[in-house]
Amino acid sequence: MQKPAFVSDYMEGAHPAILQRLLETNLEKTAGYGYDEYSEAARKKIREACGAPDADVFFLAGGTQTNAVMIDSILRPYQGVIAVTTGHIAGHEAGAIEYGGHKVLVAEQTDGKVSAESIDRILRGYAEDENHEHMVMPGMVYLSQPTEYGTLYSLAELQAISGVCKEHHIPLYLDGARLAYALACPANDVTLRDLAALCDAFYIGGTKCGALFGEAVVIPRHDYIPHLFTIIKQHGALLAKGRVAGIQFDTLFTDGLYERLGKTAIEAADRIRRALAEKGYREAFPSPTNQIFVALNEKQLAALSERAELAFWEKREDGDTVMRIATSWATTPEDADRLIACL
Amino acid sequence: MQKPAFVSDYMEGAHPAILQRLLETNLEKTAGYGYDEYSEAARKKIREACGAPDADVFFLAGGTQTNAVMIDSILRPYQGVIAVTTGHIAGHEAGAIEYGGHKVLVAEQTDGKVSAESIDRILRGYAEDENHEHMVMPGMVYLSQPTEYGTLYSLAELQAISGVCKEHHIPLYLDGARLAYALACPANDVTLRDLAALCDAFYIGGTKCGALFGEAVVIPRHDYIPHLFTIIKQHGALLAKGRVAGIQFDTLFTDGLYERLGKTAIEAADRIRRALAEKGYREAFPSPTNQIFVALNEKQLAALSERAELAFWEKREDGDTVMRIATSWATTPEDADRLIACL
Amino acid sequence: MQKPAFVSDYMEGAHPAILQRLLETNLEKTAGYGYDEYSEAARKKIREACGAPDADVFFLAGGTQTNAVMIDSILRPYQGVIAVTTGHIAGHEAGAIEYGGHKVLVAEQTDGKVSAESIDRILRGYAEDENHEHMVMPGMVYLSQPTEYGTLYSLAELQAISGVCKEHHIPLYLDGARLAYALACPANDVTLRDLAALCDAFYIGGTKCGALFGEAVVIPRHDYIPHLFTIIKQHGALLAKGRVAGIQFDTLFTDGLYERLGKTAIEAADRIRRALAEKGYREAFPSPTNQIFVALNEKQLAALSERAELAFWEKREDGDTVMRIATSWATTPEDADRLIACL
Amino acid sequence: MQKPAFVSDYMEGAHPAILQRLLETNLEKTAGYGYDEYSEAARKKIREACGAPDADVFFLAGGTQTNAVMIDSILRPYQGVIAVTTGHIAGHEAGAIEYGGHKVLVAEQTDGKVSAESIDRILRGYAEDENHEHMVMPGMVYLSQPTEYGTLYSLAELQAISGVCKEHHIPLYLDGARLAYALACPANDVTLRDLAALCDAFYIGGTKCGALFGEAVVIPRHDYIPHLFTIIKQHGALLAKGRVAGIQFDTLFTDGLYERLGKTAIEAADRIRRALAEKGYREAFPSPTNQIFVALNEKQLAALSERAELAFWEKREDGDTVMRIATSWATTPEDADRLIACL
C-alpha cells in the first residue's frame, strides 16, 4: 500500500468539475490562442470576481513562466525586481528572471514576507546612492500570497506596500500560485477585489489549485502592458489551444468554486497541525495555509520518512531538517488521518 | 448553424482516449516535474517507437516554446540556426529565437523545403568568407516535417541533409508539430525510427495531433544536452504536473495511436482536394498532408468566406488570396462533405 | 618596402591634432564617465554643429557597440529593427543585435540603400497581416550614411524615409560610422543639421574618421531615451575615462575639423577611380565616397593582390571577385599614386 | 586653485610613455581588430610576464565590458557566477551580468574577500540540495585583486580558492582592474605568474593603471574559450583599431613598466595613511593598496569635503560616512602633501 503522500499540492489531476467540462466541450470547434468563447467567458467571470471590469486577463501554462513573462514585460530592460531572499523567483526558478536580463534585488524577509518599510528603504537607498546610475534600478516589487513559507500578507500590510510602491511610482506584482489556499484560510483578510485594487498585475494560480495546469494573469488596468499577447508568444508561453486553459478557469470561476476550493486543504492542514502539536512536533515557522513546515531531529526524520512522503525543505544550522507537509484541494479527512497515524 | 470550420488543426479538444485516461488517473497522487510513472511509461513507449533505447525524452507545453528551448540549448550563444525563410521560427514565433539571443539564418525554400545543397552552400560560404569571425556562425539546422506548406521531406532528402550536417559537424533538429499528419500520409516514407537515426533532436507534436496540449522532445543520444531539465525550467517551460503531458503521450503511444491518428485527416483532405480540382479551384502549391492551400480570386474569396471558415495565408502578387484549409484527426467525412458543399 | 595598403579606413592612428590635445591635457585631473569638462565642451560643439541645442550626446567606443546599445534602447523588447540585407547590423556584427534579443527585419537594397516605399511596404504588410500578433513588430528603421557600399542617401531620400517613419510612428536611427566621408563628398547634400532634424538618433563616427576610437551618439530630443547612461553601463559600453573620447570629439568639432577631415580621402578616392576607369577596370557598383568596389577577374586579382593590399568584399556569381579600396583622412596624393602605379 | 582631487584612479590621462608611443606610431598603417604587430608584440610580452607561453590574450576597452564578456563566455547559459556581495559585478555594473542572462550568486565577504571555505560551502550546498535542478548552477568563481575594498588575496588564499574550484571542476576568473596597485604593494605576494597558474582567465587592468583605456584578458590555456573573437564582437567589445590598445599594453609590458607603475600610488597612499592615523582619523577597514577608506563623522565630512575632492563610498549605520581616497600612478608626493594639509 502506498505511503501517505504530502509532498506537494500538484500531485493530483484536476478538480472533477474541470474534467467534466473538458469532456462536454471536447469536440466543439473553437478559435485558437485564447480567442474562443470559453476563454472569453472565463475572463468575464474573473473580471467580475475581481471587481475589475476593464482588466486584461491572460492564461499561461505555469508559474515560473508567468513570473518570467510578467516581470519581463513590466520592467524596462535595465531594471530589476525587488523580492524577498526566499521568493520563488530568487531561488527556485533556475534563473528564469535573469534569463530575461533582469536582476532580482533581494530584500530581507520575516516569515517569508517583506515589509513596506524594507521596500521603502531599498528604494530610498537606491535614489540617494551617489553611484546609482551604475546600479540596477529597482523597477517593480514581487510578492507572493501565500508566500513560499505559506504565510499571508494582511490587508493592512498589502495596503502599506502598495502605498510605498505608488509613492515611488513602481508597479506591484503578486504571484498567486497558491492563491486559493489564501482565499480559503480563516486567517486571511485579502480578497480578489483587494488584489485588483492594490496590484498592477497578479496571477491566480490554477496548477496548484485544482486545474490540470494554468495560471490566470489579471491586469486591472486595460492595456497597461501593450502588446502582451506578442510578448507571451515571444516567450513561448502562448497556448495554441487556449480554450483548454479557458475552460478550466471558466469552471473554477463558476459559482465561486475557486474561492471554496482550498477549504478542504486548510481543514486538513489544521487537523494535521493540531496532531503535530499534540505529539510534540515543532513547526519551523507558523503558517496558516495549506503548507506546514515541521522541524525534525534525525530520529524523527528517519522514522517519519519511512512512513510518509514529505518534501525536503532545508537543513537548519541546529542540525534539524525542515520538512514540508502540503495538503491540497483533493486531500480528504481520511488522508489527513492516515498521515496523523504515522506521527 | 455554424459554418464548416477548417481554420486550423488545433480547434478541437483531445482525442477521446486521452480524456478517458485523464479521468481514470485523476485522483492518483504522482511525483511532479515529469518524475511520475506515466511520464516514464510514455518515455519508454516513445523510445521504442523511435528505436532509440537511450533517448532522452522531455514533454513541453507548446511548439514555439519547444523550438526556443531546443535551439537555445543546442546552440552556443554566438551561433545561429539555419531555417527556410518560410520556417515557423523565421516568421511566426514573434522573435522567440532572437529572444534567446540567436539569429535565424535564412535559407531559400522550394515548396517550404530546404535542400542539402543549399545548406552545404551556406555552411561553405560561411567557412570561406574572410570576414566570418565577424558573422554569426551557423550552429544547427532547423527543419519541420511536414513543413509550413504541408509538404514532406522524403527519406532520401532527409538523409542528404543529415549527411551535410554530419560533414560540417552541426546538429540537425526537426520540428514535428504536425508529425502525425506526415506519418499517416501515403506519400510519406520517413518513419519515427528514421528521424531518430538522422536527427540530433526532434519533437513529436501533440497539440495539433490529438492532445490537449504538449510536445515530446526526443534526443536520441542520452545526455547529448546536459542539464536540459534545468534549461527547461529556466525557460519557464517545465510543467509542474508533468503527468498531464505524460498521460497524454502514454495514450498516444499505446497501440500505435499516434501513427494512426492522422489518417482521417489525410483522407478528409484528399476528399476535399479532389472536389477542389473538380470544381476548378487551383492549389497554390501541392501539399499531400492535412493542409490545403488554395488560391482564390476576389469573387471566390468573398463567396467562400461567407460559407466556410478558412485561414488567411497570404496575398499574392497576382491579386489572388491564398487561404488554408486544415483538416484534423477529428475531421469526419461528413465534415469534409459540408465544406465541399460550399465550394 | 611595404605594399600600398588600402584595406580599410581604420589602419592609421589619429589625426595629429587629437594626439596633440591628448598630450596637452594628459596630467589634468578630471571627473570620470563623461562628466568632465572636455566631454561637456565636445557635447556643446556637437549640439551647435547639429543645430540641436537640446540634444543628448554620448560617447561610445565603437560602431557595433553603439548600434547594439542604441537599437536595444530604442526598441521595446518584442520589436525588431528594419535594415537592408547588406546593412552592417544584418551581416557583420556577429549577431550583436540578436544578442540583445531583437530580430533584424531585412529590407531589399539597391546600391546598399533602402527606399521609403520599401519601408512603407514592410510596415503596411505587418499592420495588415492577420497573423501579425505572432510576428516581430517592426520598431525602428536603421540606415547608414554612407552605406556599406559607400553610397549616399540624398536629402530628398532621407526626408521621404523620415516621413514614412513619422507616419508609422517609428523612430529613425542612422549609423554614421564613416559620416565624415559623406560630409566631405561633393555628391552629398545632407548636413549634420539635416540628420538632427530627420533622425531620432544617429551617431557621428570617430574610429574610421580620425579618432583613435570613439563614436558620438546624438539624440536631438533631450531625454528621448531615459536612463541611457545606465543602459550604456549595463551594455559594458561606458568609458570610465570618458574624457579620452571627449577630448577627441572636442578636437574634431573645433573649427569644423570633422567636416573637412574627409576631403583628402574623397580626393584620393576620386583620383584612384579615374585611374581605374582609364585602365579599364570596372567598379562593381558606383560609390562616391571613400570606398571603391572594383570587380576583378582572376588574373587581375592575382596581379593586384601581389602588388597592393586591398580588402576582399565578395565573390560574384560571374566568377569575378569584388575587392574594396578604402582611402582615409590620412591618405596622401602620393599614397594614391603608389596604388595607381600598381594597376 | 583646484582642490586636491583623490576621487578615483581614472582621473588622469595616460602614462607619458604610452602617449609617446602613440605619437611615434601614429601614421603607420596596420591591420585592424588586433591583428597588428603591436598587439602581437604586447601579447608576447604579456605571455612572458605571466609565464604562460600558450596563453590567449585579448584587449578590451573597459572593466565592466571585460567582466561581461568573460563571464558570459565561460558560463553555460544556465549557470551563474559566484561573487562576494561587494563584488563589482554584484553591485556596480548596472546589471551587465544579468543582461547576459546570468545570475550573480553572492557569497559573504570579509574585508571584500571570499574564503575558499565559503565557496566550497556554496558548491556543496548546491550539489546537496534536493531541489538543485530548479536552481541556478554555480558555474564559475569571480574574484578581484585588489578587491573593491582595496584588500589583497594572499597567495595561500588564492591557492586554496583555486583548489576548491578545481575540486568542483569550475573555472576561476579574476578581475584585475587595479592589478598594478596589487603588484606594487609590499604586502602582496601574488605575481602575474601565480595568477596565470591559478586562474582559468583573468584580466590585467589598463584603464585605472596608466592606459588611456583598455584591459588585457589572459587565458592561460590556448583555445580554452573557442571563438572568443566572435563572442567579443557579438558583445560590441571588439576594437576596430586594435592597435590602440596593443600599443598601450606593449608599452606597459616593456621593461616591466606595469609592475613598477603602481609604486608611486602605494607610496602616496601610505604617506596619507600615516597622516590620517596621526591626526586621529579612522580607516573604515584596512586596505594596503592605493585606496583608503576613511570613516568621517558629520563635522569631519563637512570640513574635508570643502577642502578636498574624495569619493563617497557609503553611509554607515553608526551615522559616519565612509569616503574613499584613491591615489594613482600619477600621484606625486606633493599631491599627497596637499591632501594631508587639508586633514
Residues A336 and A238 in one domain: no
For residues A97 and A246, membership in a common domain is answered with yes
Determine the residue of chain A that is closest to B335 in CA distance: A29
Pick the closest to residue B146 from B193, B109, B113 (CA basis).
B113
Query: At which residue does the C-alpha cell 533538429 appear?
Result: B173
CA A35 to chain centre: 26
Torsion of CA B30, B35, B40, B42, to 10 degrees: 80
What distance in Å separates residue C96's CA from the closest CA in chain B?
9
Pairing outcome for strands C311-315 and C321-326:
antiparallel
Residues 6+ apart with CB under 8 A from A277: none
Closest-CA distance, A125 to chain B, in angstroms, reads 30
Within 248-277 of C, beta carbons closer than 8 Å to D belong to none
Q: What is the ipTM of this complex?
A: 0.97
Q: How far apart are CA B197 and CA C209, in angstroms?
A: 55
Last residue of a domain, one of C259, C282, C313: C259
Domain that holds residue A290: 261-340
Residue D80 to residue A98, Cβ atoms within 8 A = yes
Q: Which domain-ending residue is among D258, D280, D301?
A: D258
Q: What is the CATH number of the domain that holds B205?
A: 3.40.640.10
pLDDT band for position A38 (50/70/90)? very high
Beta strand residue intervals within A210-319, DSSP E:
215-219, 282-283, 291-296, 311-315
Helix (H, G, I), strand (E, B) or coil at A206: coil
Q: Residue A306: pLDDT above 80?
A: yes
CB A208 within 8 A of CB A191: no
Q: Is the pLDDT of residue A1 over 80?
A: no
CA C215 to chain centre: 9
- In this prediction, residue C76 carries a pLDDT of 98
Across D114-230, where does the E strand assignment appear?
Answer: 137-144, 172-176, 201-205, 215-219
Q: What percent of chain D has pLDDT over 90?
A: 96
B33: which 3 cell numbers?
Answer: 516535474
Whole-angstrom distance, CA of residue D263 vs CA of residue A61: 61
Q: Which of B92, B104, B136 sits opposite C94 (nearest CB)?
A: B136
Partner-chain residue, chosen from C72, C73, C77, that has the shortest CB–CB distance to A72: C77
**Which residue, A257, A281, A313, sits at the end of a domain?**
A257
- C-alpha grid cell for residue D59? 584587449
Position D4 in a domain: no
Closest listed residue to residue C122, CA positions, set B325, B91, A104? B91
Residue C9 within any structural domain of the chain: no
Residue C325: alpha-carbon gap to chain centroid: 17
Is residue B176 located within the same domain as residue B296?
no
Establish if B334 touches chain A: CB-CB under 8 angstroms.
Answer: no
Residues of C in contact with D235 (CB under 8 A): 96, 99, 236
Q: Is B169 exposed, middle or buried (0-12, 13-18, 19+ CB in 10 A)?
A: exposed
The reply to whether B266 and B281 lie within a common domain is: yes
In a domain, C133, yes or no: yes
- Residue A227 touches chain C, beta carbons under 8 Å: yes
Chain C residue numbers with beta carbons less than 8 Å from the beta carbon of D17 are: none
Coil, strand, or helix at residue C310? coil
| Cβ–Cβ under 8 Å, residues B196 and B52 | yes
Task: Give the minimum alpha-carbon distance from A123 to chain D in angstroms, rounded to a whole number.
Answer: 15
Residue D31 identity (one-letter amino acid): A
Return the C-alpha cell found at A294.
515541521
Beta partners for residue C104, in sequence order = C81
Task: For residues A23 and A47, state if they share a domain.
Answer: yes
pLDDT in tens, chain B (343 residues): 578 999 999 999 999 999 999 999 999 999 999 999 999 999 999 999 999 999 999 999 999 999 999 999 999 999 999 999 999 999 999 999 999 999 999 999 999 999 999 999 999 999 999 899 999 999 999 999 999 999 999 999 999 999 999 999 999 999 999 999 999 999 999 999 999 999 999 999 999 999 999 999 999 999 999 999 999 999 999 999 999 999 999 999 999 999 999 999 999 999 999 999 999 999 998 999 999 999 999 999 999 999 999 999 988 889 999 999 999 999 999 999 999 999 8
pLDDT of residue C317: 87
CB-neighbour burial class of residue A210 (10 A; exposed 0-12, middle 13-18, buried 19+): buried
D317: pLDDT strictly greater than 90: no
Q: What per-residue confidence (pLDDT) applies to B315? A: 87
Whether the CB-CB separation of D311 and D326 falls below 8 Å is answered with: yes
Q: How confident is the model at residue A20 (pLDDT cuts 50, 70, 90)?
A: very high
pLDDT of C315: 87
A89, A71 Cβ separation under 8 angstroms: yes
> How many domains in chain D?
2
The answer to whether residue B58 is domain-embedded is: yes
| SS3 annotation, C121-182 | HHHHHHHHCCCHHHCCEEEEEEEECCCCCCCCCCHHHHHHHHHHHHHHCCCEEEEECCHHHH
Residue from D239, D186, D259 nearest D58 by CA: D239
**How do beta strands C104-107 and B104-107 pair?**
unpaired
Within a domain: residue B124?
yes
CA distance A78 to C232: 10
Residue D202 phi, psi (nearest 5)? -155, 165
Closest CA–CA distance from residue C42 to any residue of chain B (Å): 31
Are C220 and C284 in a shared domain? no
More confident call, B250 vs D343: B250
Contact residues, chain B, for D227 at CB < 8 Å:
76, 78, 137
The verdict on D67 and D194 lying in the same domain is: yes
Judge whether A101 is closer than 8 Å to chain C, CB to CB: yes
pLDDT-derived band at C1 (thresholds 50, 70, 90) equals low
Give the pLDDT score at B1.
Answer: 58
Indicate if the pLDDT at residue D1 is higher than 80. no
How far, in Å, CA of B242 to CA of D305, rounded?
62
CATH code, A315: 3.90.1150.10
- Assess whether pLDDT exceeds 90 at residue C285: no
C231 contacts A78? CB cut-off 8 A:
yes
- Chains with 3+ CB–CB pairs under 8 A to C are A, B, D
Q: What is the DSSP letter of B132?
A: G
pLDDT digits (tens, 9 = 90+) for A98-129: 999 999 999 999 999 999 999 999 999 999 99
Q: Which residue has the cell 543549399?
A: B118
Chain C residue numbers touching B133 (CB-CB < 8 A): 94
Interface membership of C19 toward D (CB under 8 Å): yes
Instruction: Quote the radius of gyration of chain C (alpha carbons, Å).
Output: 20
Average pLDDT, chain D: 96
In a domain, B6, yes or no: no
Residues 6+ apart with CB under 8 A from A234: B93, B94, B95, B96, B99, C77, C78
Nearest CA in chain B to C311: B130
CB proximity D130 to A under 8 Å: yes
- Residue in the block written with cell 566568377: C319
Query: Is residue B136 domain-shared with residue B209, that is, in the same domain?
Result: yes
Q: Give CA separation, B101 vs A36, A42, B72, B79, D99, in Å.
A: 33, 35, 8, 9, 11
D76–B contact, CB cutoff 8 A = yes
Evaluate whether residue D8 is within a structural domain: no
Within a domain: residue A2? no
Query: CB D297: neighbour CB atoms within 10 A?
Result: 12
pLDDT at residue C188, as a whole number:
98
Distances (CA, A) of B126 to A8, A83, B110, C95, D34: 51, 45, 22, 14, 21
- Asked whether D172 and D145 are in contact (CB, 8 A), the reply is no
* DSSP-assigned letters across all residues of B231-280: HHHHTT---TTHHHHHHHHHHHTSTTHHHHHTHHHHHHHHHHHHHHHHTT
Walk across the sheet containing C137-144 and list its strands: C56-60, C215-219, C201-205, C172-176, C137-144, C79-84, C104-107
> What is the C-alpha separation between C95 and C64, in angstroms, rounded?
10
Asked if residues D75 and B231 have their Cβ atoms less than 8 Å apart, the reply is no
Shared domain for C310 and C198, answered yes or no, is no
Q: Which residues contact C27 (CB under 8 A, 6 or more apart)?
A: D12, D13, D330
Per-chain mean pLDDT for chain A: 96
Nearest in space to B247 (alpha carbons), one of B37, B8, B61, B58: B37
**Which residues of D fall within a CB distance of 8 Å from A95?**
78, 80, 101-103, 136
Are residue C28 and residue C130 in the same domain, yes or no? yes
In DSSP terms, B110 is beta-bridged to: B113
C129-133, long-range: CB < 8 A, 24+ apart = C130/B312, C131/B92, C131/B312, C133/A229, C133/A230, C133/A233, C133/B94
Segment A251-273 shows an average pLDDT of 97
D236 and C31 in contact by Cβ < 8 A?
A: no
Residue whose cell numbers read 588586433: D34
Each residue's pLDDT tens digit, D221-268: 999 999 999 999 999 999 999 999 999 999 999 999 999 999 999 999
pLDDT band, residue C277 (cuts 50/70/90): very high
Q: Are residues C24 and C104 in the same domain?
A: yes
Question: Who's near B107: CB < 8 A, 6+ residues apart?
Answer: B82, B83, B84, B85, B114, B118, B119, B122
Q: What is the mean pLDDT of residues D66-81?
A: 98
Residue C188 per-residue DSSP state:
-
My answer on whether A268 and A237 are in the same domain is no
Report the C-alpha gap between C76 and C74 in whole angstroms: 7
Contacts of B5 in chain A (CB under 8 A): 29
Cβ proximity of C97 and C104 under 8 Å = yes
